[in-house]
Amino acid sequence: MDRFSPNRISFVSSGTPEADVAAEALRNRYGDVGFENAEVIVALGGDGLMLQTLHQVMDRRVPVYGMNFGSVGFLMNEFGADKLVGRLKAAKPTDIYPLKMTVTDANGDKHEALALNEVSLFRASYQAVKLEILVDGHTRLAELICDGALVSTPAGSTAYNLSAHGPILPIDAPLLALTPISPFRPRRWRGAILNNHAVVTFRTLEAAKRPVSAVADNVEFKNVIETVVREDRERKVTLLFDPGTSLEERVLSEQFRY
């Protein structure tokens, strides 16, 4: 049986009225086997819904095809109700490997979370934070005074990383972007590009006075003392894009916007 036959599709909606109406119409037309039984998920919404859905299917390795009902829709295809099965068959896959964040909080407890876009550290008070940054166990920056810092995947390099003036990475590049958020000292440090095997450790300095929160996509931990970030090659998600609109092409085009 064809992998993308109609009886193997499930539709999810962001919950907006427009997306809900479209999802119901598609279910009536193509059927819906349910989220747990699907071999392909069609997500109707914006990039937020796409990230949420990818996290849900990560351990099942079910591909996700998005149709845009959001504002930006960088990870989505254009909406169209016709010939959906044919579009799914012709779609080009893009694999993304998540970042694994391991944090130690002020109580000594450890927590883990995965991020498809970025792991970010933020100041949790009115004061700037002070961070020591280590790469593969070696201190590379003894003290960064800033609002925060982030480590981004290539897929996430056009999101918050770009807004923080970080580099755009080609989608298939074995790289990670390490980017400061509003750095104060050293003022001229703008971050680093690392290989995807690098292990980045952030140590919070003066943690009681300058508390830090760590966030993996939308999972947050507070009062963080140490945050370790590395790529998790044992997990991956697969996005599907219409021919000519691949994520690689979108990332490339983003570099020529002005």
Give pTM, 2 decimals: 0.86
Residues of the chain with pLDDT under 70: 1-7, 258
Task: Clarify whether residues 87 and 147 are in a common domain.
Answer: no
CATH of the domain at 165: 2.60.200.30
Q: What range defines the domain where residue 62 resides?
A: 6-96+236-254
Residues 92, 49: Cα–Cα separation, whole Å: 20
- What amino acid is encoded at 36 in this protein? E
Could you identify the residue written with the tokens 């407890």?
A: 109
Structure tokens at 206: 């003066």
Q: Are residues 127 and 224 in the same domain?
A: yes
* CA 135 to each of CA 85, 120, 139: distance values in angstroms, whole numbers, following the listed order: 46, 16, 6
* Per-residue confidence (pLDDT) for residue 129, from 0 to 100: 97
In the chain, the number of structural domains is 2
Per-residue model confidence as pLDDT tens digits over 102-139? 999 999 999 999 999 999 999 999 999 999 999 999 99
- How far the first Cα of the chain sits from its last, in Å, is 47
d(CA 208, CA 229): 22
Task: Please identify every residue annotated as catalytic.
Answer: 47
Query: Are residues 152 and 46 both part of a single domain?
Result: no
